[in-house]
Structure 1
Amino acid sequence: MIRVKKLQRGISLGGLLMACILLGVVAMLGMKVTPDVLEYFAIQKIIKSMAQEPGLKEGGVSEIRKAFDKRAPIDRVESIKGVDLDISKEEEQIVIAFAYPKKVPLFGNVSLLIDFEGSSTTQ
C-alpha cells in the first residue's frame, strides 16, 4: 500500500501574527495622517473657490487674506493663516499658493514629517 503524503495548507501562527502587526501599523498610520490630509484638501478647496470669486479678483492681497481667515474656521483649518498665503497675479488671474510642514507624532519619539503645498492653479 502506497501512502500519499498530504500537503498542509493555511497560514502559520507566525505568519498570522506578522500580518496582524503589519495591518495594525498601517491602520495606525492611516488614523494619524487622515485628519491632516483632510485639512490639506479643505485648504485646497478654499483657495480654489477664492481664486474663482469675482469680488476678490478686484480686491487686494489683504482682502484675499482676510477672506481666507474668515473661511478657514468653517472647514477647521488651523495649520495656516491668511498671512501664510503667497498671492500673485499671472495672466490676469489670481494665483494663491501655500506650503507648510506638518509633524505627525506616531509613537514614542518617532514622528512623520509631511510637507504640504498647493496652489489655486493645481489641477
Structure 2
Amino acid sequence: MKLRNCSGNGQRGLSMVGFLFGIIIVALLAVLGMKVVPTVVEYMAIKKAIVNAKNAGTTVKDIQVSFDRQRETNYVESVSSKDLEITKTGDGFEVSVAYEKKIGLFGPASLLLEYQATTASGMANKSKP
C-alpha cells in the first residue's frame, strides 16, 4: 500500500475551544434577548394603547381613562395615564409618551433602553424602541 503525502491538506473544522467560545457567545446573546424582548413587547402594547385611547376619547380625561383601561388588560407597568403628554391640535388630540427601562445584566452592569411613541402623523416614523 502506498501512503499519500498530506502536506497542505491539514484537518479542517472547529476546535473544542472555538466551539465553547461560540456556545458562550450564543448563550449570552440569548440571555440578553430574553431580557430585552419583553420590554419591546410592552412598548408595542403602549404604542397601540395610545393610538386606541386617542381614537376613543374626546377629552383629556377620556383619553386617560381609556389608556388606563387598556393598560390593565395588556399588563403595562412602565407607563400610566399620568405619564402621557396630551396636546390639543386642530384635528383633535395628539398623545405621546417617553420613558426609560433599565435592565440589570450582571453585577453593576445594566442596559438602559429609551422608548418614545406618539400618535402625531409627522413623528410616527421617528418613534423608536
User: Is TM more than 0.5 here?
Assistant: yes
* TM-score in terms of structure 2 length: 0.84
Unaligned runs of 5+ in 2: none
User: Which one has more relative contact order, counting CA pairs under 8 Å at least 6 apart?
Assistant: 1
- Equivalent residue pairs, number: 119
Verify: 1:52 aligned to 2:51, yes or no. Answer: no
Q: How far does residue 91 in structure 1 lie from its aligned partner after superposition?
A: 3.4
Q: Report the Cα distance in structure 2 between the residues aligned to 1:118 and 1:49, rounded to whole angstroms.
A: 13
Q: Report the Cα distance in structure 2 between the residues aligned to 1:91 and 1:70, rounded to whole angstroms.
A: 26
Verify: 1:8 aligned to 2:11, yes or no. Answer: yes
Specify the alignment match of 2:89 in structure 1.
Answer: 90
Q: Report the Cα distance in structure 1 between the residues aligned to 2:6 and 2:60, rounded to whole angstroms.
A: 81
Please, which of 23, 35, 41 is the counterpart of residue 26 of structure 2?
23
Q: What percent of counterpart residues are identical?
A: 35
Moved over 6 A (4+): none
Q: Report the Cα distance in structure 2 between the residues aligned to 1:63 and 1:2, rounded to whole angstroms.
A: 84
* Paired letter, 1:116: Y
* Paired letter, 1:98: V
* Paired letter, 1:3: N
Q: Aligned Cα RMSD in Å?
A: 1.6
Q: Which range moved further: 67-76 or 88-97?
A: 88-97
Q: Report the Cα distance in structure 2 between the residues aligned to 1:91 and 1:16, rounded to whole angstroms.
A: 61
Q: Please give the secondary structure, in 1, of the residue aligned with 2:82.
A: helix
